[in-house]
Amino acid sequence: RRLWLLDMHIEISLSLSAGQMTDLIYTEKELVQSLKEYIKAEESKLAAVKSWANKLDVLTRVSTSDPEGYLAHPVNAYKLMKRLNTEWSELESLVLQDPSDGFISNMSVHRQYFPDEEDEKGAAKALMRLQDTYQLDSESFSKGKLPGVHSSAFLTVDDCYDMGKTAYNDADYYHAVLWMQQSLRQLDAGEEAVVSKADVLDYLSYSVYQMGDLPRAIELTRRLVAIDPSHQRAGGNLRYFERLLSKQLIELKQVYQPASEEPIQLGTYARPKDHLPERETYEALCRGEGVKMTNARRSRLFCRYRDGNRNPRLLLKPVKEEDEWDSPHIVRYLDVLSHEEIEKIKELAKPRLARATVRDPKTGVLTTANYRVSKSAWLEGEEDPVIARVNQRIEDITGLTVETAELLQVANYGVGGQYEPHYDFSRKDEPDAFKRLGTGNRVATFLNYMSDVEAGGATVFPDFGAAIWPRKGTAVFWYNLFKSGEGDYRTRHAACPVLVGSKWVSNKWIHERGQEFLRPCGLTEVD
């Protein structure tokens, strides 16, 4: 039994899990040590060559001052022959020695685990996603200033330029403007950089033009021409922009207004719309805004002890249940997983965290997809007593059988990791989504939070304005289907990007088959 993704507009990032990113930290430390050893070997080699050079310098000064007199002595004649035949060859061998072999070998071993260009691009996009979701300006990011976090992390001029270039190459001119502007701001402040101001202005002016701000594009291009009059594109672009603006002013019967002197920042330009209709609602909930928890609704939420209808495993230690939302009913269970159980699940999952596949509902083929680039692992109950125990606990708490449920899925999201709004159940236009499983639709979701998250990472429901925040050791549970088997479309939900920290979760998707007498049909379609 495996996971079938149903919504083709889901995106999960980063492509490397937080656990794998941690491994890269130690890999880099090992490479630094190897680099230091290489430098030491090079310095030792250079010291030996310098010693040879100094000795030979003294000898040649003496021999060239009176060559005939020098060679008149038989010992000097012999030593000259010996030096040129033997000692210079030894010196040549010394110079040809390559102390880099050990370092290069170490690099070769680790390179297979290095992130590639797509990973770097994904990390840049994750920062931009965080910037959008949590409304953070580029300057705050470049200085490492995040809400409630004090850090020495910072982005250089070249880092900001590379961020802007990543966006530009994707025709994402909105983010290209923000990051090129930040690169220019830091250059104007006197920061040293490899990239030139002309290069930054070149990208920035064209991106601003693409955002529809001709006056500012003209101003920036003029600045570029002043810095580099021979720039191959600047002159042509400037003339084109000026003609275009003149034409627009004539058509609109307007007078030329110079570009705003206010620096470009978050909010200067409108962010382009994308495929997600509830984008603004979703991101507001991630920031803790727009949560529709009224006093009347809060008065309907309670907490209680559950013994699973006198389940013998819960009689002596009933589970603590808290209402998170009234309709649809979402509950949180406390102390579901112990620290030791969480660590064991993570230990089992880490070696298997792999690029997730999706099932295309149209073709039925399992394949990788750009919108799902996270790492996930699947754990069977037979693999370890802890997994069997967790599966049994989910069955005891929910009163539903997990015999027809999918395997326990473990996922780890680092900074920027997210899961865009989606349904867990298959809709009517995807009738064959779970056909191969033969277990019916996903009736319910049981989601374990296996870590606290410093900032971000909430589970949000845009349809009714709920936000549920991760708390280590707890689990949330909701039904995806009404008792009639009809999908509850209100349960479309998302995992917000992790702003600071690492988020570990595990989930169990419970299916319809086997629940017929455990959750019988109601009297209406929406019971």
Domain limits of the chain?
Answer: 18-112, 135-252, 278-511
Question: What does the pLDDT read at residue 16?
Answer: 65
pLDDT at 370 > cutoff 50: no
Residue 342 contacts residue 450 (beta carbons within 8 Å): yes
Question: What does the pLDDT read at residue 253?
Answer: 82
Confidence of residue 4 (pLDDT cuts 50, 70, 90): very low
Question: What does the pLDDT read at residue 8?
Answer: 37
DSSP string, 269-304: SPPPP-S-TTHHHHHHHHTT-S----HHHHTT--EE
Question: What does the pLDDT read at residue 355?
Answer: 52
**Is the whole-model pTM more than 0.95?**
no
**How many CA atoms lie less than 13 Å away from 376 in the CB half-sphere?**
25
Question: What does the pLDDT read at residue 82?
Answer: 79
Question: What does the pLDDT read at residue 241?
Answer: 94
**Range 209-233 average pLDDT:** 94
H or E element in which residue 359 lies: strand 358-359
pLDDT at 486 > cutoff 50: yes
The distance of Cα 416 from the centroid of its chain, to the nearest Å, equals 4
Work out the mean pLDDT of the chain and round it to a whole number: 89
The distance of Cα 109 from the centroid of its chain, to the nearest Å, equals 25
Residue 419 contacts residue 496 (beta carbons within 8 Å): no
Between residues 102 and 185, the one the model is more confident about: 185
How do beta strands 498-500 and 455-456 pair?
Answer: antiparallel
pLDDT digits (tens, 9 = 90+) for 119-168: 888 889 889 999 999 999 999 889 988 887 777 788 999 999 999 999 99
Rounded to 5, what percent of the chain is helix, strand, coil?
45, 15, 40
Domain 135-252 maps to which CATH number in 2.60.120.650, 1.25.40.10, 3.40.47.10, 1.10.3720.10?
1.25.40.10
Question: What does the pLDDT read at residue 374?
Answer: 55
pLDDT at 339 > cutoff 50: yes
Confidence of residue 369 (pLDDT cuts 50, 70, 90): very low
pLDDT at 389 > cutoff 90: yes
Confidence of residue 113 (pLDDT cuts 50, 70, 90): confident
Instruction: Say how far apart CA 377 and CA 387 lie, in whole Å.
Output: 13
Nearest CA to 375 out of 17, 10, 12, 1 is that of 17
Instruction: Say how far apart CA 309 and CA 299 lie, in whole Å.
Output: 26
Neighbours of 431 (CB within 10 A): 11
pLDDT at 37 > cutoff 90: yes
In 3-state terms, what secondary structure has residue 428?
Answer: coil
CA distances to 43, 215, 386 from 212, rounded to whole Å, are 56, 9, 58
**Range 234-247 average pLDDT:** 93
The one-letter code for the residue type at 319 is: V
Torsion, Cα of 98, 100, 105, 106 (10° steps) = 160
**How many CA atoms lie less than 13 Å away from 338 in the CB half-sphere?**
7
The one-letter code for the residue type at 201 is: L
Confidence of residue 182 (pLDDT cuts 50, 70, 90): very high
Instruction: Say how far apart CA 519 and CA 401 lie, in whole Å.
Output: 10
pLDDT digits (tens, 9 = 90+) for 296-323: 999 999 999 999 999 999 999 999 999 9
pLDDT at 350 > cutoff 70: yes
The distance of Cα 90 from the centroid of its chain, to the nearest Å, equals 53
Residue 490 contacts residue 465 (beta carbons within 8 Å): no
Per CATH, the homologous superfamily of domain 278-511 is: q2cbj1_9rhob like domain (2.60.120.620)
In 3-state terms, what secondary structure has residue 412?
Answer: strand
Question: What does the pLDDT read at residue 288?
Answer: 95
Weakest-pLDDT range from 120-134, 172-186, 505-519: 120-134
Confidence of residue 15 (pLDDT cuts 50, 70, 90): low
Confidence of residue 186 (pLDDT cuts 50, 70, 90): very high
